[in-house]
Each structure stands twice: as structure tokens, then as C-alpha cells.
Amino acid sequence: MPTTLPKSTRAPRRDAAENREAIVAAAATVFRHDPESSLDAVAAEAGLSRRALYGHFASRDQLLAELLTRGAARISGALAGVHDDDPRIHLALIGAALWQEVQQMRVLAQLAVHGPLERTVAEALLPVRTSVRDAVRRGVDDGCFRPDIPVESIARLVEEAAIAVLDEAVRTDLDEESGRRLVMSVGLSVAGLSWRETDALLDSLQLPTTARPTTPGRKTPGPTTPEAHTA
């Protein structure tokens, strides 16, 4: 009797995996310049046929979802090493890290937070929201952030302020350094710092122009509190 061999689950061919990565990379390039570009433009950029592209992504929305989910995961990964014992600096560094990851793909980032794919990327962005909430909670407990608004509300408002900066960056074509400082400034302002306190804090950080934000060496101005004034 002939022996029936068990079916094996075959791993994707290497060229198929490489083609998928080429498509995603091409989509990042094409959609960065024009988010309304067609899949034909993406296929051409990837050097593949339209049929090959549809073998991996059945629709433009499916490709966008893949691209945005990867971007959100990359942002969350970038924040993994961002922390400071001073909640003001922690919040500022979150803003700097966010800007570092999205500033070259601003319009796509807008799609992630405004468009129909917002829920698709929400789970990947959860670590970002958790980090913001942690910084705000510690800041309120320490007395350097405003105590008159619930922590959850402040955290959401900080997030919305960052999105507003992204919108402004697209509208006015902010340069990299101006956008980074603005996203840090508005987050701290929403949390309760005055513009003078914010400027002094950001000046003290001396973040490098291009490097990924980490906890820098600095002489940090202390929080403005009643105790600080009477000390």
C-alpha cells in the first residue's frame, strides 16, 4: 500500500517575503509624497507588477493599515528607553521621541490619528499613551503639573495637543527643530507649566539635533511651586 505522507506547512518563499517588504518600503516613499497615490504607483516604486502587489495586499486600505501599524509599533519601540525621574523631562522626551519618528511622514501620521484607520493603530500606540499617563500622574503627585484636572483628562489633552502640532507642521511645513520644540512645549503647557518655565526647561535639556531622544545630561530648573518660592 502506498504510504500517505503528512502534509507540511511550507514557510513563505524568501522572494515572497522580500517582495512584501519591498512593497511596504515603496508605500512609505510614495505615500509620504502623496497619500492619495494609487497602488499602481506603489507597485512601480517597488519594481513589481500590480498582480504581485495584490498578491500581498488586496486593497489600498490594507496596505495603509500595514504601514501605519508598523509605524505605530516603531514609535512605541522608540519610547521604550525614554524615561526620566523628573516627570516634566519625561513628558518632554516623549514629545521629542514622537517627533523624531513621525516628522518625515507627517501626512501619514495624520492618517493614523485622524482617519478611518485610527482604531487599527490604537493598540500599537497603547505604550505611548501609557507613558504619557505615567508622566502626568507623577507630575501631579509631585506638584509640578496642574492638580485641578483629572490625570486621564490631562493625558488625553496632551495627546490631542501633539496631534494639533502635527497638523500645524503639515500646514506650515515646520522644520525639524521647530517642530520638535513645539511638540514638547505644548505638552508641558497643557500639563500646567508656564511658557517661561517651559522655555527654561527645554533650554536646559540641550537635546542633540538628530539623535534619538534619551535622558540627557543637564542642569534642570526646579518646578515652580509655593515651596520653591519660600525656600
Task: Give the pLDDT confidence score for residue 229 in this predicted structure.
Answer: 31
pTM higher than the cut 0.85: no
Task: Give the pLDDT confidence score for residue 216 in this predicted structure.
Answer: 52
CATH architecture assignment, domain 14-58: Orthogonal Bundle (1.10)
Q: Which helix (H) or strand (E) holds 102?
A: helix 87-102
Does CATH place domain 71-218 in 1.10.357? yes
Boundaries of every domain in the chain: 14-58, 71-218
* 77 vs 87 pLDDT, higher one: 87
* 7 vs 111 pLDDT, higher one: 111
Topology match between the domains 14-58 and 71-218: no
Q: Cell numbers of 102, please?
A: 513621525
pLDDT-derived band at 169, boundaries 50, 70, 90:
confident
175 in Cβ contact with 210 (< 8 Å) = no
In Å, what is the CA distance from 138 to each residue of 54, 142, 151? Answer: 48, 6, 9
32-47 per-residue burial string, b: 16 or more CB within 10 A, e: under 16 = eeeeebebebbbbbbe
In Å, what is the CA distance from 127 to each residue of 52, 97, 104? Answer: 35, 13, 21
